[in-house]
Amino acid sequence: MPPAKNTSNDPAAATQDLLSEAGHATQDTEFFNPMPPGYVPGRHKYVVVFGTVISGIGKGIFSSSLAKLLKDKGLKVAPIKMEGYLNVDSGTLNPYRHGEVFVLDDGLETDMDLGTYERLLDQDLGRGNYVTSGQIFQKVLQKERAGGYLGRDVQMIPHVTGEVKYMVRELAVKRDADVVFIEVGGTVGDYENAFYIEALRQLAFEEGEGSVCYVALTYVIEPPALGEQKTKAAQLGLKKLLEAGVQPHVVAARAKNPVEQGAKEKIAMFSNVPTERVFSMHDRASIYNIPEALREEGMDRGVLTMLGLHDRLNARNEDTARAAWGSFVAKINAKRKYKIRIGLTGKYAALRDAYASIDKAVEHCAAHLNTDVQFDWIDTTKIASADVPKALAGFHGVIVPGGFGHRGTESKIACIQHCRETGLPYLGICLGFQMAVVDFARHVVGLTDAVSTEFDPDAKNPVIDILPEQKKIEGLGGNMRLGGKDVLIKPDTLAAALYADQLRGQKPDQQTVRQRFRHRYEVDPKAIATLEKAGLVFSGRHPSQPIMQVLELPQPGTPGSEGRPTHPFFIGGQFHPELLGRPLKPEPLFMGLIAAGIRRAYPDAAREDISARWLIERGLQPSG
């Protein structure tokens, strides 16, 4: 155990306490068993998920699905994703190489797997739920430079592995977790994750029997030319894990079709795992079917037995959670009444993972609104502004997502102009919000050279800018504005109607919603009065600073809109609403877009229809 915390005013002693909190390895002992303050051995359990054969086989989906089952039973769960790359976070990664950047409420930029955990667990995560090799090495070297290892030569074992164990245990304490789910990125056998595997081998040794459950995901190949399932790659991948000193307790076998009994038996024989604990994780119609599939196979009960957790369960909580999830899954799997087309106009359209959270947010809303959404991806770098009307023909709604850089933005502005002028439902996200301001300034206000200083630092009419006084707000410095922030919503607006459920019970002049941000540029405060005078409504603002966060055009017939631009559904957020979309809590801006798209596609649909009811309940105006 670490020494007692220093309570004196001696800075040197206080610093030494901080540096020594990860434990000691002295000349007297080689054991390095770091324990964070408040850690109770035996209180917390661990499920560790490894991948073999290939990367990207669904470790996050499996881990989050199993974690959901245990959470449904009343247990507190905390996931952590361990990445092998040396980047400190995912903020600088190209979407084409690693998918979208998912921003947590505390501002940490992570990879898209954290979004999977948040959606399936309906749980906000933070810095403790994500670690990279870069973070680990940075902490170790900082401690070494400050003398934190008492003169020892710093090594991968025990110091780097000790830092990994400390972070895992610290997460367990901070979240008071019954079970910590640890997903090791990459594939067993990679150099970059070997120290994670060794640290987690040590974790099981130190915590004792019945404290850690190892799960290995593998891949069963089914070559079309052979017409049968082959397990040799799976066997060799599992052998790599055994060579690292890790004996898996469960094997989940990914495959296109259900894994046959003979294949399971081969995998069991070569991994020392009982056949009944070899689970077929074959392709399903939806990832949302995976939790129930795991439950039917008894995976949750098996893990609870291995970890000795049956006495902590809440059966009533499980019944309620299972019913709610089952209702959503039934909607996902049901045949839908309507079908609409939504266009996403971005510059990473060639890779769906670049907009994974938008895809999922639309998927949730489509299920709740009983419609199939055909999601078309339009690369704005490949269409000219003059071709936009033809490119958007047949759509019932358009999303312009976030992004950085000038490439493709003029076509995005043309898309927004087309939506605004034709009544096509529109949702702008981050850059889509900013480009909507530029479109309005150019084509309604008449500032034909309006632009963002991101694209033209010397612009004469910079309606979007990064301002010196804004750099000081909330300690931003020159960096991006990141993480969860409150948005003050203006009453009697489209935004207020869409977020009515979240605003209920708040004082009319203090109604806020919390959203996640990732941007540098803002609406120039000098342009706000001009834009508002011409009819643009800023319905969401920073609670105390001149930062505009939601814009909209009023619906036709809105009091005070006479002689001003109106629109059936035109809204944009400076934030990223897709990051908060959850299966059982669909994001309101996306719900509004899909509902408006249904009303555009089916103007004669009955007012009793679910999309019409959703709009009417919020005081909006469906057609029909």
The catalytic position among 83, 522, 552, 578 is 578
Residue 574's contacts (CB-CB under 8 Å, 6 or more residues apart) are 430, 433, 434, 517, 519, 522, 547, 548, 549, 550
- Given the DSSP bridges, would you call strands 77-83 and 130-132 parallel, antiparallel or unpaired? parallel
Clarify whether 578 is annotated catalytic.
Answer: yes
The tokens for 339 are 């079908």
Clarify whether 430 is annotated catalytic.
Answer: yes
CA dist 194 and 187 (Å) reads 9
Clarify whether 396 is annotated catalytic.
Answer: no
The catalytic position among 430, 519, 567, 587 is 430
161, 155 in Cβ contact below 8 A? no
Give which of 463, 473, 351 is closest to 403, Cα–Cα: 351
Give which of 220, 170, 245, 203 is closest to 48, Cα–Cα: 203
Backbone dihedral region of 208: left (phi > 0), alpha (psi from -120 to 50 degrees) or beta? left
Identify the DSSP state of 158. I
Q: Please provide residue 429's backbone torsions phi and psi, each rounded to the nearest 5 degrees.
A: -120, 120
CA dist 475 and 470 (Å) reads 9
Number of C-beta neighbours around residue 327 at 10 A:
10
Q: Is the dihedral of CA 278, 283, 287, 292 positive or negative?
A: negative
The catalytic position among 44, 249, 576, 587 is 576
Identify the DSSP state of 425. -
* CA distances (Å), origin 267, targets 235, 248, 484: 6, 12, 45
Q: Is the peptide bond before 2 cis (omega within 30 degrees of 0)?
A: no
> What type of residue is 195?
F
588, 438 in Cβ contact below 8 A? no
Number of C-beta neighbours around residue 479 at 10 A:
11
466, 521 in Cβ contact below 8 A? yes
Give which of 75, 76, 102 is closest to 91, Cα–Cα: 102
587, 577 in Cβ contact below 8 A? yes
If you count them, how many residues does the chain have?
A: 624
- Given the DSSP bridges, would you call strands 462-465 and 522-523 parallel, antiparallel or unpaired? antiparallel
**Catalytic annotation, residues:** 430, 576, 578
